[in-house]
Amino acid sequence: MTIIVDDAGSGDLLHGVVIGAYREETSEFKYDLIDVRFYQPELFNEKEYLQESKRIVSKLLAKLDVKPDEEIHICQGCIFDVAVEELRKVYGEDRVKRVKVVGEPQRLVEVSYLDEIRNLGYEPLAEREEKRAKSFFHMMRWLKAHPEMLRYAKTGWPRLKKYRLFKEAHNGDEDNGTYEAVCTECGSPCEVPFKPAPDRPVYCPACWKKRKPKRSRRLAQ
């Protein structure tokens, strides 16, 4: 028999992270949530979410009552690094394996995360898995429209410091006159010093540098 452990929401702006455990042979499924506070500056900087992940995984396995010699397959994501070390001490190296999770366990964990963010009042994009940058800004726009929900944002990520929304919410910084956008060329999130128009391309600094025509020196007569 095999128990498969996966996560969902680690790379998303909203809410915490769902961790789920699925027993393949019986289709039993349990999940819990790493609270979003573990992804906000104080705890995030100390990587306390890794310890919380270990605690939750241990709790889920206890609920499923791991059978003798039952294998435990854990997603390869770094969120489980500390948990795996502990599990191998308890169950042995041979029984705990890192794998790429696909199929039903992955689907159930993803559905659980989507249910959690819908409970906040947010409706996720249908294509969020294929268009991560678009999903990020969709969540950000929702937070702008519902500033009271900022407490459910993963504000510990250093890259968020450049966005006005999070500066105003946590640092009290003044408006720096820039706008969030998605680069037309590479699809990466970026900021530009003008309000993007829907019918015109926008480029991040790296892509703009590649496209910007080089100035030619005027030859002396």
pLDDT band at 13 (very low <50, low <70, confident <90, very high): very high
Element (H, E) at 168: helix 164-170
pLDDT given for residue 171 in this prediction: 52
Residues 115 and 193 in one domain: no
**In the beta sheet, which residues pair with residue 192?**
179
More confident residue, 205 or 122: 122
Q: How far apart are CA 21 and CA 105, in angstroms?
A: 8
**Length of the chain, in residues:** 221
More confident residue, 186 or 35: 35
Q: Is the dihedral of CA 43, 48, 50, 51 positive or negative?
A: negative
Element (H, E) at 5: strand 2-8
218 in any annotated domain:
no
Can you give the CATH number for the domain in which 53 is found? 3.30.420
Residues 72 and 100 in one domain: yes
Range of the structural domain that residue 193 is part of: 181-213
pLDDT given for residue 212 in this prediction: 54
Residues 172 and 197 in one domain: no
CA-based nearest residue to 33, from 119, 96, 100, 91: 119
